[in-house]
Structure 1
Amino acid sequence: MRHFFGIPDEEFIRGDVPMTKCEIRKAVMNEARIEEDSIVLDVGAGTGSISIEAALAAPKGHVYAIERFDKGIDLINENMKKFNVNNMTVIKSKAPEGMEELPDLDAVIIGGSAGGMTGIMDEAQRLLKIGGRLVVTAVTMETGYTILKELKGRPFTYEGYQMSISRYRKAGPYHLLDPLSPIFIVSATRIAEGE
């Protein structure tokens, strides 16, 4: 059965770990272009919301989720059980450590780099197949700047945009808009060297 992106936020076991919101997840997953047999890496997996969506979209593939915090690892494992996901491997590490032994990848999604973007990009470039997709989300302008700087001179074509989402909230007989934090999304395609 085909998975449609956008599991409601409240479906995930979350705790106090940051989570990519539903509307942003839909955009990220669309940009990643995950097929049913894709091999995907989620860097800075947090609660595992991106990883879970990717695993459900790639039932014949596999997802690797790298997370450095124990509370995140625990939540990812809980969410894997909740959503009956068994095509996923959780790696406790601060990327780029933990990426060394991964297979060739169809997609790399970076939601957190903890200051290690250069090393993560080196590994992503090495692991991504030609035509593979890289998607980076950034909530700070500094991270947005860093990824654009990192992509220059590398074998990728890329584009980016900023999303601002506001959700309806009932207030008596009326509806108000509650804004989420704006987010930068950069998507890139791995090309052959010298193209």
Structure 2
Amino acid sequence: MAAFGIEDSEFIRGKVPMTKAEIRAMVMVKAAIQDNDIVADIGAGTGSLTIEAALCAKSGKVFAIEKNPEGIQLIKQNAEKFGYQNIIAIEGSAPDAMDGLPPLDVIIIGGTSGNMHKILDNAENLLKKGGRIVLTAVTAETTGEVVREFKDRPFKFEGFQMQINRLRKLGRYHLFDPQSPVFIFTATKI
């Protein structure tokens, strides 16, 4: 069984956003990726979730879709660093970059660049019955949009909010530094 939540410092990083270890761990729990699964990571950033997904889908494939050229390079560098050959980096914006993907078992959505509705339309068509979408949101606007989007779609839908506080030393004391709250939604196709 895979251990989720690879240390953030293990990833090659640039100026591209990265999902933090604790959030990645919970996303992976909710994604429930199996050995032969075909996965898409939309808005893959540095590829941190892509790497965690590839760890689970050892006999499957993980498609990492990212519009930022720096992100694509980081995804490739991290795939090489961790030794995963089951990762396919696709440079482009979803939903267009989703064209040609095979039927999927799991779709992880970390960024939509304002294309949520069309991405979810494509995701609904690509996802196998019983497949899962795991979507993260950090803004109130995105959270509301996600809830509205799944209102009439054929999915079992649930969500929750995580708040991570990291311990840091300050002189002889220890303080908790709050991280931004993250909403995690899971939708299973019925």
TM-score range, shorter chain: over 0.9
Q: Cα deviation per residue 1:69-127 (whole Å; 9 max; x = unaligned)?
A: 11111111111111111001001110001212111111000000000001100111001
Q: 1: distance between equivalents of 2:184 and 2:58?
A: 25
AA aligned to 2:146 is I
1:69 & 1:34 partners in 2: Cα distance?
Answer: 26
Question: CA–CA distance in 2 between the matches of 1:34 and 1:171?
Answer: 39
Aligned to 2:98: 99
SS of corresponding position for 2:13: coil
- Shift, 1:173, TM fit: 2.9
1:31 maps onto 2:4 in alignment: no
Q: Distance in 2 between matches of 1:58 and 1:4?
A: 13
CA distance in 1, matches of 2:180, 2:2: 26
Residue by residue over 1:121-158, the C-alpha shift from the partner in whole angstroms, topping out at 9 and shown as x without a partner, is 01110011111011110011111111111111111010
Where does residue 121 of structure 1 map in the other structure?
120
Aligned mates of 1:80, 1:146 — CA distance in 2: 32
2:188 aligned partner, one-letter code: T
Q: Does 1:45 align with 2:58?
A: no
2:81 alignment partner in structure 1: 82
Name the residue aligned to 1:70.
69
RMSD, aligned α-carbons: 0.8
Tell me what 1:154 maps to: 153
Gaps of 5+ in 1: none
Question: What CA distance in whole angstroms lies between the structure 2 residues aligned with 1:149 and 1:96?
Answer: 19
Q: Which amino acid aligns with 1:116?
A: N
Moved over 4 A (4+): none
Consecutive unaligned residues of structure 2, counting only runs of 5 or more, are: none
- Equivalent position of 1:8 in the other structure: 7
CA deviation profile, 1:158-186 (whole Å, cap 9, x unmatched): 01111100011122332110111111111
User: What CA distance in whole angstroms lies between the structure 1 residues aligned with 2:134 and 2:143?
Assistant: 12
Percent of paired sites with the same residue: 55
Distance in 1, Cα, partners of 2:14 & 2:174: 28
The number of aligned residues is 190
* CA-CA distance at 1:190 after TM superposition: 0.4
Cα distance in 2 between the residues matched to 1:77 and 1:103: 21
TM-score, normalised to structure 2, is 0.98
2:28 and 2:2 mapped to 1: Cα distance?
11
Q: Does the alignment pair 1:61 with 2:60? A: yes
Please state whether the residue corresponding to 1:24 is helix, strand or coil.
helix
2-structure distance, mates of 1:25, 1:185: 10
Q: What residue in structure 2 maps to residue 168 of structure 1?
A: 167
Deviations for 1:35-77, whole angstroms, at most 9, x for unmatched residues? 1111100000000000010001110110000000111111111
